[in-house]
Amino acid sequence: MEDIKNQLQDGVKNLKEMLGPLQKYVTPTSALVGLGAGLTVYWLVKRNKYKLPPGPTPMPLLGNYSLLNARDFQDQCMELSKKYGPVITIYMSTIPIVVVNTIEAATEVLVKSKADFANRPEVTSATFFSDGGKDIAMAQYTPTWKLHRKIAGSALRTYLKGRKLEEAIHGSLTQLIELFDEKQGEAFSPNTHVDHAMLNIIYALCFSKVYKFNDPKFKNFMKVESDLIESFGSGFLEDLFPILIKIWPSKRFLKCADLANQLFDVLLGELKEHRNTFDEGNIRDFTDALILAKMEAENDEDTELLSQLTDVHLKQTLSDIFFAGLDTSRFTLQWFLLYVAAYPEIQKKAQKEIDNAVGRDRLPGLDDRPSMPYTEAVLHEVMRVATVAPVGLPHAARVDAKLYGFDVPKGTTIMINQWALHNDPRHWNEPAKFDPERYLDSDGNLGPKPISWLPFSAGRRVCLGESVAKAELHVMCAILLQQYDIMIPPGETADFTPDVSGIAGYTAGSYKIVVKKRI
């Protein structure tokens, strides 16, 4: 991407020299129009060179703009696959994007093709916000990335499990229970309370710190983080014209950059504090475990690779774990509360299971998880019907590849439509129905993972924190059902209208519930 930026800058410089005295007549608008016309011609030539998967006809220069910005993007792609096949091509301006809509095609991309599709798109905004690709989530599939992920995985296994994970959950949920107790009998939106609980768990695990609900730092952190998600949307004009970042960045891009820097400053400050107080004999949290894992790797790994793992890399790793764990978990828990409130008979069945496995004298813990398969099945069904990341993180082809007989040129973006996978009638009986029983065998135990259930992706880019997230959410859901009857307010019906939908995510709206303490 840096090479492309340099080429564009050199091209603009050469163009100005060629135009000479005509420069004063060339406006930014006319330059963009000219560039657009050139890109359209280039696109038409390139498009005919490859046999890309079929798809809806794009508009010149604009591509399939309306589809990419649709709130029901995932649904439209699923419908288009009925006409064009499981793999379709859409265009962001002149840039092709391959969308995969079945588990069979997704397995080909994520698993069977090994690392052929393991890269990430070279997106200008992603490169900018990851400090030039120094994170794990959006970095390219390289030896440095593999070592970086190995170090992060080692830290996760060392710290984010067992007793310390359970302590963080119980500590945070104790505060949440106090807040819910104050709301008994009152209709309220639980979203802010859920945000507080999830932030405290992540903060405790990463930095050994917790916030009180009314702490101004907590409120400011969540506001900045929510504003960033809302402002980020589905991408920037700068992703189509990278040179704009240097010469003419949009107000929205500048706003996102400022918000991201505020969050990064918090993480970098915590990392520096941990470096200054690090004690190898007292690993306090994930940040310490990350520092320790890097130190241990320095003893037996390639020193040239390790020299590329700076504090900026570790800050980006913290960002990946912190925000991926915070956002996907809080959005899932918000949907969970809505669904159990809307389906009281399912809620009662889960509560009976929890009472039999745990009782009322203590909070459910990680060791109780095998004894509560129905509760876990409810959570799995929430992850299916309310897929919080409908198309996940995009992949990119590392080489010129083939998929279902079609060309996928090197660098092409590939999106896995997880929403389509989770609503495929070939694999789900009555997919619109909320039915936890579909995950259980005839004895009421959890059966094998359904073939088309993929909330954490798969293959080389599988979610690094999958095991932690599933255990964490299961315990949290069990605690809330143990403590409360959760209901839709009297006279109202459950509103499943999402607040955000499409490429940007799928989040619950500001619904209200009523809670009653179980005695």
* Cβ neighbours around 189 below 10 Å, total: 15
Reported pTM: 0.87
What is 50-517's CATH number? 1.10.630.10
- Classified as helix, coil or strand, 513 is strand
Is pLDDT of 225 > 50? yes
CA distances from 54 to 87, 98, 358, 402, 407 (A): 8, 9, 54, 14, 11
- Give the pLDDT of residue 419: 98
Q: Report the length, in residues, of the chain.
A: 519
Are 468 and 168 a contacting pair, CB within 8 Å?
no
Tokens 């402002």 sit on residue: 231
* Cβ neighbours around 473 below 10 Å, total: 22
Q: Among residues 456, 417, 414, which one has the least CA distance to residue 117?
A: 414
* pLDDT tier at 343, thresholds 50, 70, 90: very high
CA distances from 83 to 80, 328, 423, 477 (A): 5, 32, 17, 40
pLDDT, averaged across the chain: 87
d(CA 49, CA 408): 11
- Give the pLDDT of residue 25: 44
- In DSSP terms, 126 is beta-bridged to none
* pLDDT tier at 305, thresholds 50, 70, 90: low
Highest mean pLDDT among 45-54, 135-144, 379-388: 379-388
Highest mean pLDDT among 24-38, 222-236, 503-517: 503-517
Would you give the DSSP letter of residue 491? T
Q: Among residues 143, 145, 142, 209, which one has the least CA distance to residue 172?
A: 209
The separation between CA 82 and the C-alpha centre of its own chain, rounded to angstroms, equals 27
Q: Are strands 413-416 and 95-100 parallel, antiparallel or unpaired?
A: parallel
Half-sphere exposure of 348 (CA within 13 A, CB side): 4
* pLDDT tier at 48, thresholds 50, 70, 90: low
Is pLDDT of 369 > 50? yes
d(CA 256, CA 268): 18
